[in-house]
Amino acid sequence: MKPAISKISQIHPDQSVICILGKNEIPEWLKLSKSEKEFALKQLTAGEEYAVINSYYKNTYIIRINENGSGYKQKEELRKTAFNLRKIIRSNNHTELVIASHNAFNGAVEAFTEGLVLSFYKFGKYKTKKEKEEKYNYPSVLLLFQGPDDEDLKWLTDLTDSVYFVRDLINEPVNHLNAPALADEIKKIGTSAGFSVEVLNKGKIETLKMGGLLAVNKGSVDPPVFCILEWKPEKPLNASPLVLVGKGIVYDTGGLNIKTGDYMDNMKADMAGAAAVTGVMATIARTGIPLHVIGLIPATDNRPGGNAYTQGDIITMHNGMNVEVGNTDAEGRLILADAISYASRFKPELIIDIATLTGSAAMTFGVQAIAVMGNADRKYFRLLEECGNEVYERTAELPFWEEYGELIKSDIADIRNVGGREAGAITAGKFLENFAEYPMIHMDIAGTGSLKKDDFYRLKDGPGSGVRLLSTFIKKYAEGLMAK
């Protein structure tokens, strides 16, 4: 269970407290003895990340901010410290825990709380016996003292709720979450968060001639789905919507070009883009962001079944273009392409797709950055980069020169779904650009969308990459329009 987050205006002397210190000065309200204070300050000045003081009825955790580095780096330090403290906190069995600051920068309490909440996540659904560490209670309530205002607190709650939801979706294996089941989950959260969801079934997908999605689905025994999520507030600030597209491959075996060795590891997470889009829609609907936003999620598994699509097939896409299949493992771009051309009917201001698309992006940036590229106005890339630093889901841009488009030319069809081994992340983006009639940004989260080990509070398996980034991007974009 995710801890609840609320605010308090007073601290009771026997409450356990985490206090973030801006200066080497311990506040009176922590009610520590002289020797306890001396002990804590000695530890912190010796360079320790934190000091813990255990009295018999409470624990006090004191955290020192590293003064070097700019605002966003300091916030990230606090999120990481929260992760480092998670085990001690858990073992102390708090039912509630106060998080406070003294002389710290604005946003310190939020950043620490965010890191802690995200570190407490567990995918425990399939454990029939409680694990040893689970017998300890997580604090069920975090009480923030001198922290955010009500609006910021709601944002933190909405955002972390979404990350938990997205992690649950990604971590669910395909035998429990096929494409129709994914659509059901999207409908459920749509109802609870307040955005609308329409699910197109296979018949409708055939009528729409979404040849990419249908081809990838041919080897599957489950039907594909195409989900349309919409958040339309009463008076949106944008005349044309923002369209988010998420790759919903609920499992990627590679198809007939089957993945070998350990390349199939965690391929249940190949719908991390779809999960992220759903999470972002939930955040902005719950928060009530005054922008019209549409989410498109094409979903299927990619398998080598009896009638599976093959290398060499030529498929006609939703926009009428013919694609030569050079590799059935380059399936993501086929389903995304249909969604991106479907987006034209909304005349969007901007299309952003998010996808675990290429091993190449993962090899280039590792787990540290989301690869971004596209033909949209620079102002969107700038804002994305700024938000990426702020939430520390950083973006790194790849070139998008037209010459890269040459690599996916086909002799016999309009285009091929693969280039050579070179520039694989870019040629995938270039492929998508062929289907975008409106400005687009492509985000490849192959490196960040599923992790082999915890990267601090970005927990392994499905960390929820892109949710905090895109939610913040949309919020800040709306704030920019409001300021005009």
Binding site for ligand BES (CB under 6 A): 252, 270, 327, 329-332, 356-360, 362, 418, 424, 446
Q: Which residue among 37, 218, 268, 333 is the active-site one?
A: 333
3-state secondary structure of 173: coil
| Smaller CB separation from Zn ion, 270 or 324 | 270
Q: Which of 32, 129, 48 is nearest to 88 (CA)?
A: 48
Containing H/E element for 6? strand 4-8
Residue 58 dihedral angles phi and psi, to the nearest 5°? -155, 165
Contacts of 125 (CB under 8 A, 6+ apart): 168
CB of 252 to Zn ion, least distance (A): 4
123 close to 170: Cβ distance less than 8 angstroms: no
Q: Measured from the CB of residue 330, what is the shortest distance to ligand BES in angstroms?
A: 4
Q: Which is nearer to ligand BES, 115 or 212 (by Cβ)? A: 212
Site residues for Zn ion, 179-218, by CB under 5 A, read none
333: annotated active-site residue: yes
Across-strand partners of 197? 229
Nearer to ligand BES, 115 or 326 (CB): 326
Backbone angles phi, psi at 56, to 5 degrees: -75, -15
- Residue 332 contacts Zn ion per CB under 5 A: yes
Distance of closest approach, residue 424 Cβ to ligand BES, in angstroms? 6
From Zn ion, ligand BES, none, which one binds at residue 359 (CB under 5 to 8 Å depending on kind)? Answer: ligand BES
Q: Which residue carries 């940036």 as its tokens?
A: 365
Q: Provide the token pair at 282.
A: 């939930």
Q: Which of 122, 154, 187, 259 is catalytic?
A: 259
**CB-facing half-sphere around the CA of 293: CA atoms within 13 A:** 28
Count of residues touching Zn ion (by CB under 5 A): 6
Smallest gap from residue 421 Cβ to ligand BES (A): 8
- Minimum Å gap between C-beta 388 and ligand BES is 19
Q: Please say which residue, 118 or 426, places its beta carbon nearer to ligand BES.
A: 426
Question: Which of 110, 161, 252, 338 touches Zn ion by CB under 5 A?
Answer: 252
Q: Which is nearer to ligand BES, 348 or 424 (CB)?
A: 424
Whichever of 62 and 256 has its CB closer to Zn ion, that residue is 256
Sign of the alpha-carbon torsion through 461, 463, 464, 465: negative
- 433 binds, options Zn ion, ligand BES, none, Cβ within 5 to 8 A by partner type: none
424 binds, among Zn ion, ligand BES, none (CB under 5 to 8 A by kind): ligand BES
Strands 242-246 and 293-302: parallel
Look up residue 339 and give its amino acid. A
Dihedral-angle region of residue 461 (phi above 0 means left; psi in -120 to 50 means alpha; beta otherwise) = left
Say if strands 370-374 and 17-21 run parallel, antiparallel, or are unpaired. unpaired
What is the Cβ-side half-sphere exposure of residue 107, based on CA atoms within 13 angstroms? Answer: 12
Residue 86 CA from chain centroid, whole number: 21
Minimum CB separation of residue 383 from ligand BES in Å reads 26
Q: Count Cβ atoms below 10 Å from residue 48 Cβ, excluding itself.
A: 14
Task: Give me the amino acid identity at 363.
Answer: M
- 3-state class (DSSP) for residue 372: strand
Query: How near is the Cβ of 433 to ligand BES at its closest, in Å?
Result: 16
Q: Which of 264, 314 has the CB closer to ligand BES? A: 264
Q: Which residues pair with 396 in a beta bridge?
A: 371
Closer CB to ligand BES, 428 or 441, in the complex = 428
Question: In residues, how long is the chain?
Answer: 484
Which of ligand BES, Zn ion, none interacts with 418 (beta carbon under 5 to 8 A by kind)? ligand BES
Closest CA to 446 of 424, 468, 472, 419: 424
What secondary structure letter does DSSP report for 171?
H
Among 329, 353, 390, 433, binds Zn ion (CB under 5 A): 329
Q: Is 249 in the site for Zn ion (CB under 5 A)?
A: yes
22 binds, among Zn ion, ligand BES, none (CB under 5 to 8 A by kind): none
**Distance separating alpha carbons of residues 264 and 420, to the nearest angstrom:** 21
Nearest distance in Å: CB 261, ligand BES: 12
Please identify every residue annotated as catalytic.
Answer: 259, 333
Chain contacts with Zn ion (rule: CB under 5 A): 249, 252, 270, 329, 331-332
